[in-house]
Amino acid sequence: MRFASLLLCLALCSLAQAAPVSLIPLPAKLQLADGMFKVADDTPIVIPPHDPAARQDALYLVDLLARTRGLHLRLTENTHASSAIVFSRDPKAVVSQAEGYTLDVTPQGVRIVARDDAGLFYGAVTLWQLLTPDAHQGPVSVPALHISDWPRFTWRGLMLDSARHFQNVAEVEQLLDQMAQHKLNVLHWHLTDDQGWRIEIKRYPELTRVGAWRTPPDAEHDGEPARYGGFYTQDQIRDVVAYAAARHITVVPEIDMPGHAQAVVASYPQFGVTGKRPPVSVDWGVNPYLYNVDDATFQFIDNVLDEVMALFPSHYIHVGGDEAVKDQWKASPVIQAKIRALHLKDEDALQGWFIGRVGGYLAAHGRRLIGWDEILDGGVPADATVMSWRGTDGAIKAAQLGHDVVMSPSPDLYLDSVQSDQPDEAAGRNPVRDLASIYAFNPIPASLNAAQAAHVLGAQANAWTEHMPTMQHVEHASFPRIDALSEVDWSPSSVRSWKGFLARLPAQFERYADQQVAYADSAFAALIQVDANAALKHRRAKVTLSNQANDGAIHYTVDGSVPDLQAPLYAGPFTVKLPTTIKAATYASDGSTLAAARTRVLDDASLSSREGVELPNCPGSDFRLRIQPMPDAASMTPVYAVNLFDSCQQYPGALLDGVTTIHADVVRLERNYALAHEAKLVVSRPHRTPYGEFVVHLDRCDGPALASMPLPNPATSGRQFALDASLPAKSGEHTLCLVFTAPTDGPLYAIGRVSLEKHRP
């Protein structure tokens, strides 16, 4: 038996490496056989008689194939149909695990067998992937094989933040479509926050009349709307929930409390602590507004939850619990009296009491509370489930205490983290979380024993949308990193292989393109590297090409044309004369495109300049965002690098021989960030002119100032402007420290591009 198990493991590992079929996530067991089965128009799909769930799953496959392959299959209950795809329900099926199925392909047909509805559905999804190995239309032949498959985890999640930026129903449903195709089964829907309340509550109409809308900073200027927002009606919520359920996805709503409540307090000030009405927040980050803890507020919460539970049949209701800054509670005599009356230790314990009360109400209605790991800080109901975002420590603590947990740590599974350091990468926050790091994530911490590990329900990626204002941004951030997560959540760890996963991605990219999903090619994008200073000195550049995944064939050109498969294949560093334009694209072994062409111009101007996003932070703070020109900008570019705590970047290795002038393209940005107690960490620098300066220091940030350029009046200048200054004669390579001394209570500034220029007579 041990020898047979070894052979099976070797076969599965070989399968993962060779990727003979492009399935994501990889099935638990797959065995190839001899022969093929051809699927064409009118191939029958046989469904069990009087089985509406099986009919629905089969119709899902019919619709998906019609849209993506141009194949039109027909349903029948005729069990004698030949050369057919058969859906079969069997309470004694070989795969006994929930959501599991078997799929057999022979030259005579296809059979999908499962015990439950979800198993039939996931079998249909796997068959659809087998029938879409490429972007071609029409008939397709499937290799004979046997698959036995079931998920590793029960919670395979994606969180969508609709509070910071709003997505319409069609966009949410498109995301659900992709989740289903990846066998993800939980949409955690973040519907309320400081920046917006997105769910209609009929008993409290002000929540959407007021709380769903904010006035953006600098509204009606530079592309910002007069107001921003939106909400989902209860009918729309029902439609989304039904749409998800048809794809075996549970929608778990999040109503954030006791913090992240500014939109609520803007709508109904009496349910806040101060009684004052703030605006709906335009600031990302941690705002101070909390719920009150009096009986009227809890009646409000109970009434809201009644309507939420009527709309969402999910067993779990997410109550947030994160980032509740306790300043308002600490400053309120009424709240302090409540703490004493309840014999609680402090404000953290009050939050524990608050969450416990809400959890009790949910439990009385047959539901279960889930919250972010801060709910552990003040005590938590015994049956509460913990979603760990502050790393994995919260999950470890919760599991050791006997709580079920969902792994969703930052930055590991935070999709608002950028995917690469490429100059053309989209907006997001550092550090980089690339495709490989998501694939390598292990939801089971090594410190948990077997009994504790059994409390890990699964893993979830989070699409926070402060810096993702459109669905194009969300899709770019999510795909293909969700492919990696789906395999982490579904496939046995013993059969997973990074190389095998990469080999299966080209077909998935074609599926994305066919469905107009704006996926990212960052993992395969060609990085074109040269030693800029050596090139300037010798008028020749040694060019190195690579990509993040270290996979695919990179083809390049040196004449500015777009490289195709006939262009030279990169095999090692090569040398070009200046000036030259390098373009490089990455292709899969089947000739499909893995990454569109990237361009680098090699001439004096480009080699003597840097994009702002290429300039590293100055030492002392590693916080870094890539942000757009305005908070609600709808385009993917441009993006600018900022450090909210220290407006200082470095230009390392600046070759100053003959340089007489520095030129900077600068943008003024909104400082719409709530930093709470971290505001004290913001570095404030002295300035000599009213609006601050752009200062260039030599070698160190406390080194001599080579140039200082006053920043213009924000009230009268454009958002983008240029600054120029003469530099004293210097030679050799130096680090330039580039600092904005603008007052920290005013706008932010960022570098678009900085150039070192020589005097030309």
Residues 282/214, Cβ–Cβ less than 8 Å: yes
Q: What is the mean pLDDT of residues 19-32?
A: 91
Q: Considering the domain boundaries, does residue 520 fall inside one?
A: no
pLDDT per residue over 691-741, tens digit each? Answer: 999 999 999 999 999 999 999 999 999 999 999 999 999 999 999 999 999
The answer to whether residues 162 and 212 belong to one domain is: yes
User: How far is it, in rounded angstroms, from Cα 511 to Cα 482?
Assistant: 14
Average pLDDT taken over every residue of the chain: 95
Q: Considering the domain boundaries, does residue 38 fall inside one?
A: yes
Q: Which residues pair with 490 in a beta bridge?
A: none
CATH number, residue 67: 3.30.379.10
Residues 542/530, Cβ–Cβ less than 8 Å: yes
Q: What is the mean pLDDT of residues 263-286?
A: 97
User: How far is it, in rounded angstroms, from Cα 26 to Cα 533?
Assistant: 47
Residues 636/611, Cβ–Cβ less than 8 Å: no
DSSP string, 147-197: EEE--S-SEEEEEEETTTS---HHHHHHHHHHHHHTT--EEEEE-EETTEE
Q: Considering the domain boundaries, does residue 414 fall inside one?
A: no
Length of the chain: 761
User: How far is it, in rounded angstroms, from Cα 156 to Cα 187?
Assistant: 9
* Residue 163 token pair: 């509070």
Q: Considering the domain boundaries, does residue 700 fall inside one?
A: yes
Q: Is the pLDDT of residue 10 over 70?
A: no
The answer to whether residues 225 and 339 belong to one domain is: yes
Return the SS3 of 595. Answer: strand
Query: Which pLDDT band, with edges at 50, 70 and 90, does 380 fall under?
Result: confident
Q: Is the pLDDT of residue 747 over 80?
A: yes
Q: Which residues pair with 369 in a beta bridge?
A: 317
Q: Is the pLDDT of residue 1 over 50?
A: no
* Residue 740 token pair: 């904005």
Residues 99/107, Cβ–Cβ less than 8 Å: no
Q: Is the pLDDT of residue 645 over 50?
A: yes
CATH number, residue 188: 3.20.20.80
Report which of 720, 706, 577, 714 is spatially closest to residue 638, judged by C-alpha positions.
720
Q: Which pTM was predicted?
A: 0.95
Q: What is the mean pLDDT of residues 734-759?
A: 96
Q: State the pLDDT at residue 272.
A: 98
> Which residues, in sequence order, are CB contacts of 430 under 8 Å at separation 6+?
417, 418, 622, 623, 624, 625, 626
Q: Is the pLDDT of residue 631 over 80?
A: yes
Q: State the pLDDT at residue 314.
A: 98
Q: Is the pLDDT of residue 576 over 50?
A: yes
Q: Which of 547, 579, 607 is the last residue of a domain?
A: 607
DSSP string, 655-683: E-BTEEEEEEEEEEE---EE-GGGGGG--
Q: CB-side exposure of 728: number of CA atoms within 13 Å?
A: 8
Q: Considering the domain boundaries, does residue 12 fall inside one?
A: no
Residue 302, phi then psi, degrees to nearest 5? -60, -45
Helical spans, DSSP H, in 42-81: 52-68
Q: Which residues pair with 627 in a beta bridge?
A: 640
Q: Is the pLDDT of residue 181 over 60?
A: yes
Q: Which of 149, 169, 197 is the last residue of a domain?
A: 149
Q: Is the pLDDT of residue 8 over 60?
A: no
The residue type found at 696 is: V
The residue type found at 513 is: A
pLDDT per residue over 70-118, tens digit each? Answer: 999 999 998 888 999 999 999 999 999 999 999 999 999 999 999 999 9
The answer to whether residues 272 and 359 belong to one domain is: yes
The answer to whether residues 168 and 277 belong to one domain is: yes
Q: State the pLDDT at residue 377.
A: 86
Per-residue exposure over 95-120, b if at least 16 CB sit within 10 Å of its own CB, e if not = bebebbbbbbbeeebbbbbbbbbbbb
CATH number, residue 599: 2.60.40
Residues 146/104, Cβ–Cβ less than 8 Å: yes
Q: How far apart are the first and last CA of the chain?
A: 84
> Residue 732: how many CB atoms within 10 A of its CB?
9
Q: Is the pLDDT of residue 760 over 70?
A: no
The answer to whether residues 113 and 167 belong to one domain is: no
The answer to whether residues 225 and 263 belong to one domain is: yes
Q: Considering the domain boundaries, does residue 687 fall inside one?
A: yes
Residues 595/586, Cβ–Cβ less than 8 Å: yes
The answer to whether residues 640 and 751 belong to one domain is: yes
Q: State the pLDDT at residue 11.
A: 40
Residues 710/689, Cβ–Cβ less than 8 Å: yes
The answer to whether residues 111 and 233 belong to one domain is: no
pLDDT per residue over 432-470, tens digit each? Answer: 999 999 999 999 999 999 999 999 999 999 999 999 999
Q: Is the pLDDT of residue 15 over 70?
A: no
CATH number, residue 644: 2.60.120.260
Q: Considering the domain boundaries, does residue 438 fall inside one?
A: no
DSSP code of 493? Answer: G
Q: Which of 120, 149, 178 is the last residue of a domain?
A: 149
Query: Which pLDDT band, with edges at 50, 70 and 90, does 16 fall under?
Result: very low
- Which residue numbers are catalytic? 193, 260, 323
Query: Which pLDDT band, with edges at 50, 70 and 90, does 761 fall under?
Result: very low
Q: How far is CA 760 from the centre of its chain?
A: 47
Place of tokens 């089971």: 444
The answer to whether residues 538 and 636 belong to one domain is: no
User: How far is it, in rounded angstroms, from Cα 756 to Cα 761?
Assistant: 16
The answer to whether residues 176 and 299 belong to one domain is: yes
User: How far is it, in rounded angstroms, from Cα 756 to Cα 600?
Assistant: 18
pLDDT per residue over 309-342, tens digit each? Answer: 999 999 999 999 999 999 999 999 999 999 999 9
Total tally of structural domains belonging to the chain? 4
- Domain containing 627 equals 609-758
For 452-457, the CB contacts below 8 A with 24+ separation are 452/399, 452/400, 453/399, 455/398, 455/399, 455/402, 455/403, 455/404, 455/405, 456/153, 456/395, 456/399, 456/404, 456/405, 456/406, 456/407, 457/153, 457/154, 457/155, 457/385, 457/404, 457/405, 457/406
Q: What is the mean pLDDT of residues 550-556?
A: 98
Residues 752/611, Cβ–Cβ less than 8 Å: yes
DSSP code of 749? Answer: E
Residues 88/113, Cβ–Cβ less than 8 Å: yes
The answer to whether residues 139 and 63 belong to one domain is: yes
Q: Considering the domain boundaries, does residue 445 fall inside one?
A: no
Q: State the pLDDT at residue 20.
A: 66
The answer to whether residues 726 and 644 belong to one domain is: yes
Residue 429, phi then psi, degrees to nearest 5? -115, 155
